[in-house]
């Protein structure tokens, strides 16, 4: 009884956090904020899957599903990040290839 109530309370708490991430996805000022919000929602969904598996008594099945979902989330996040890096999304700024501040030249590139 106590563990069921505890899992239910924790699940409601996680669902509340999902709404915070959803706000970030909808109102994020940059594309990267929205991507972080989507990753957060996916993380909460994985935790909820594991809670559901513990409540149902079939944890091993739900852990497998959660791992598959986590790998899908990782691959999709990397694909979107690579796409945004090539596209130079608005709000991303410029990335300095030399490791210095954007817009400066390193001594190897410089006087030439």
Helix (H, G, I), strand (E, B) or coil at 47: helix
Instruction: Return the pLDDT at 56.
Output: 86
Q: Which numeric CATH code is attached to 2-87?
A: 1.10.287
User: Residue 64: is its pLDDT beyond 70?
Assistant: yes
Grade residue 37 by pLDDT with cuts at 50, 70 and 90.
Answer: very high
User: Residue 81: is its pLDDT beyond 90?
Assistant: no
31-54: average pLDDT: 91
In the chain, what percentage of residues exceed pLDDT 90? 41
Please give the structure tokens belonging to residue 112: 């030439």
Backbone dihedral region for residue 99 (phi beyond 0: left; psi -120 to 50: alpha; all else: beta): left
Query: pTM of this prediction?
Result: 0.69
Instruction: Return the pLDDT at 26.
Output: 93
Secondary structure letter of residue 24 according to DSSP: H
Most confident of 6-10, 73-77, 81-85, 105-109: 73-77
55-82: average pLDDT: 91
User: Residue 109: is its pLDDT beyond 60?
Assistant: no
Gap between the Cα atoms of 2 and 73, Å rounded: 33
Average pLDDT, the chain: 81
């Amino acid at each position: 009884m106590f563990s069921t109530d505890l899992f239910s309370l924790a699940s409601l708490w996680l669902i509340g956090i999902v709404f915070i991430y959803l706000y970030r996805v909808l109102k994020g000022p940059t594309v990267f904020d929205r991507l972080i919000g989507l990753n957060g929602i996916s993380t909460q969904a994985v935790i909820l899957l594991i809670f559901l598996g513990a409540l149902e008594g079939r944890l091993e099945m739900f852990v497998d599903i959660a791992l598959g979902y986590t790998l899908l989330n990782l691959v999709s996040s990397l694909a979107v990040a690579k796409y945004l890096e090539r596209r130079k999304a608005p709000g991303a700024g410029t990335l300095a290839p030399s490791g210095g501040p954007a817009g400066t030249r390193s001594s190897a590139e410089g006087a030439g």
